[in-house]
Amino acid sequence: MNLRKEILRTRIKAGNNNYYSITGALKQAIEEHQYEQIIENIPLMCELTGVFSYPWINEISKLFNNKDILNVFIDNLDKIPASSLEKCIYNILKVISVYKLTNEECIKLLNKILNLNYNYTNICVINYLYLIIFDNYKDYIPTMLISLLTNKKYTNSTLEYINSIINTHDYTYLFKDNLDLILQTNTIDLFYLKDLLGEDYKDIINNEITINSKLRITALVNKCLLNRLDYHSFSELEKNTINSSIEIIYLVIKDICANENIDITDIKQIGDGSFSTALLIGEKVFKFGVNRNNDTFSNNPYIVAPLLRKKIEIDDLNSIFIEVCERVDTNTKIDENDLYEIYKKVRDIGLIWTDVLLDNVGILLKDNKRYWRKNLPVSDGSLGLQPYIGGEQLKKGDIVIIDADFIYDENDPEVEYDLCHHELCHRFENQYQKSKELINKHR
């Protein structure tokens, strides 16, 4: 049998679903021990791999004890069409996990996958490590992890994934012993790494942040933003919007550092939620993230007074937002009675807050005003908010809402949906309505 002709012949029959064109022909070639033909046609099989035809990888993996076949397969992974990569990579990692590769083969495979132009490859590789490393490759863990740490193309939360492996299995020394190599990797969030390694490594990391401040801030922002956006799915114009937003975020961070008279190395990450990341910069909290639940509502006394609040639209479904406000005390214990009081005040001015959680409030360290060294003209409209309502001025020591993503006008049709999913809000709303009924009854 001529494997190439058989693949092309059956592909015509199969149409778009070329499962049989590759898998069936390969099975026959394996049965006939046509290993030279298989090696010769691996590039073609990779090129023709479609969404439905990736199971041929299961078949060829049975021959991975033949190192020529294994190495040619790894060398041609980049020929697999991008549209099929997701299924293929998971499949490759799954089937390869049952074979005892050498140290060099493991590193070659990992580096090849990491260098593919595919947004999820890093998470796939980390999952791969979780699945098989401690059963089959324990002796090779340090070499593989260093290969991951020093790969210049990885993005998003790879560092945290690697750290979870390293900490769980006592490989923290790998960060320290290879710090010089890691510092050459522009995509690593050095602020995170500095917290991880502690005081002994603070000066050397701070020095790198100072020398390449824009690069290192951008790495931090990229990690936090691109972890929430599928960057490769956007058009070039939309990618330009994202890149411009990252530049804006960098400039805002620089301005805050100047206003607070602190060095850029003193920035600390203090929060990382579903939608946003929070940085502490002096006495200011800078939040940036994607897709707020509710973009606008009436400005009011019960949220931390925002200095800056801006939404940047990427497309109809995706946006980036940035916000700057004063730091508040989130460590002092607040009980449910205090939480209800702030909920009641919000309701009394015709708004409803549905994300009622103790984690979403704090205690003011200053009166609830805007603090900036230079004159900063701010209007409700410039903050993306509706006109201010409510006359109270919260003072130092008062409880304030620090996460305002779920504040609505009480007549907003979305409110009922959110109420059903927030138990404490549902209970507080019942309590509020009963208190109103009681007041009305005694009038």
User: What is the Cα–Cα distance from 355 to 273, expressed in whole angstroms?
Assistant: 13
Q: What is the pLDDT of residue 147?
A: 65
Pairing outcome for strands 284-290 and 308-313: unpaired
| Nearest partner of 220 among 156, 266, 126, judged by Cα | 156
**pLDDT tens figures, 220-241:** 888 788 767 777 778 899 999 9
Interior CA angle at 85 toward 128 and 19, to 5°?
110
CB-based contact 46:76 (threshold 8 Å) = yes
Average pLDDT over residues 396-410: 92
In the chain, domain spans: 255-441
Q: Which of 149-153, 185-189, 217-221, 410-414 has the highest mean pLDDT?
A: 217-221
Q: In sequence order, what E strands does 198-260 have?
A: none
Q: What is the pLDDT of residue 97?
A: 60
Residue 383, Cβ neighbours under 10 Å: how many?
18
Between 67-75 and 103-114, two packed helices, what is the crossing angle to 10 degrees?
20
Average pLDDT, the chain: 81
Average pLDDT over residues 2-9: 74
Listed range (157-161, 206-210, 304-308) with the worst mean pLDDT: 157-161
Q: Is the pTM of this model over 0.75?
A: no
Q: In whole angstroms, what separates CA 41 from the centre of its chain?
A: 38
| Nearest partner of 60 among 18, 102, 88, judged by Cα | 88
Q: What is the pLDDT of residue 272?
A: 80
